[in-house]
Amino acid sequence: MPLYQVTILAIIQGLTEFLPISSTAHLFLTSRLLGWTAESLTFDIILHLGTLAAVLLYFFRDWLQIVGQAFGIEVGHDRELAQNRGLLWLLAIGSVPVGLAGLAFNKLAEGPWRNEFVIGGMLILIGIVMWIAEEKGRQFRDLATIYLPDALVIGLAQALAVVPGCSRSGITISAGLFRNLTRESAARFSFLLSTPAIAAAALKALYDLHKEHHLHELAAAPMLIALAVSALTGCAVIAWFLHYLRRSGLRPFVYYRLLFGIIVLALAFIRRPA
């Protein structure tokens, strides 16, 4: 894969993974429209690792506090986290549904479901869900008030992210808003909850690459560049998005998803064989 192609796709991954607009949709359609060959398993792993690096780098202090206080060790001074000492176990429980969904539907998600009709439909459908969540959520709760029902609801929502075009952040933030979390708290919990799922997906992909005896490909210069670009871009996007959510809502992303979904479906029908 040429370096310019690797760099462009890594930037797209970093920009779209943490915004509620579906990174899968943007990566798939960019390659399709530009006539690029499908990404290799090695490149897919690099994008997973870049995404994982971004969320771990940005939330490093949060994770230290969450893990530490779960075992009675005082680390960090975040007020919301300090008032929810069982958050680690809630994140673990909330991660179970997406793990089961990945095992059950991964082949479908990577195969038959990865087409313009599914992607376009999900872009529109989840856009509508985001709009309803924005309208109906009362937004008065923070991370300190998250309990088992919230973790289960948001975790079940995350399981839908295996469907291309859904957007992990879009569906989980919406679920958080339905549970009356503030936008920022819903996004923060969404990103924390995504960490185990992304790590598990990366480890599974690494194992698959190991079975094919291609682990050495990860050390190639283009792959390392893609890892750095997607990680740094992802960190910047997380910081910007959380700042944005403190003062603004999801409406622009809803409009973007609806327009993008309509364009994708139109292209799918135009290109559909007679």
Partners of 108 in the beta sheet?
Answer: none
pLDDT (0 to 100) of residue 214: 79
pLDDT (0 to 100) of residue 65: 97
Render 133-182 in DSSP notation, one character per residue. HHHH----B-GGG--HHHHHHHHHHHHGGGSTTS-HHHHHHHHHHHTTB-
Do the Cβ atoms of 235 and 50 come closer than 8 Å?
no
pLDDT (0 to 100) of residue 210: 85
Question: Does the pLDDT of residue 101 top 60, yes or no?
Answer: yes
61-70, 152-161, 197-206, range with the lowest pLDDT: 197-206
The predicted-structure confidence for 35-92, as pLDDT tens digits, reads as follows 887 667 688 889 889 999 999 999 999 999 999 999 999 888 899 999 999 999 999 9
Q: Please measure the distance between the N-terminal and C-terminal CA atoms of the chain and give it in whole angstroms.
A: 33
Render 39-90 in DSSP notation, one character per residue. PPHHHHHHHHHHHHHHHHHHTHHHHHHHHHHHTT------HHHHT-TTHHHH
The predicted-structure confidence for 6-34, as pLDDT tens digits, reads as follows 999 999 999 999 999 999 999 988 988 88
- Residue 274 binned pLDDT confidence (cut-offs 50, 70, 90): low
For the purposes of burial, counting CB atoms within 10 Å of the CB of 127, is it exposed (0-12), middle (13-18) or buried (19 or more)? buried
Residue of higher predicted confidence among 152 and 3: 152
Query: Residue 109 and residue 95: Cα distance in Å, rounded?
Result: 18
pLDDT (0 to 100) of residue 82: 94
pLDDT (0 to 100) of residue 59: 97
Residue of higher predicted confidence among 263 and 213: 263
What are the residue boundaries of the structural domains of the chain, listed by start?
3-269
Do the Cβ atoms of 184 and 241 come closer than 8 Å?
no
Q: What contacts 24+ positions apart, CB below 8 Å, involve 80-88?
A: 80/142, 80/143, 80/144, 80/185, 81/143, 81/144, 83/144, 84/143, 84/144, 84/145, 84/146, 87/143, 87/146, 87/192
Query: How does the average pLDDT of the chain come out, rounded?
Result: 93
pLDDT (0 to 100) of residue 217: 83
User: What does the pLDDT average to over 129-136?
Assistant: 97
Nearest to 89 by CA among 65, 70, 63, 61: 70
The predicted-structure confidence for 226-268, as pLDDT tens digits, reads as follows 999 999 999 999 999 999 999 999 999 999 999 999 999 998 8
User: What does the pLDDT average to over 163-170?
Assistant: 96
- Residue 219 binned pLDDT confidence (cut-offs 50, 70, 90): confident
Contact partners, residue 171, CB within 8 Å, separation at least 6: 126, 129, 157, 158, 160, 161
Do the Cβ atoms of 170 and 21 come closer than 8 Å?
yes
Query: Residue 46 and residue 100: Cα distance in Å, rounded?
Result: 23
21: helix, strand or coil: coil
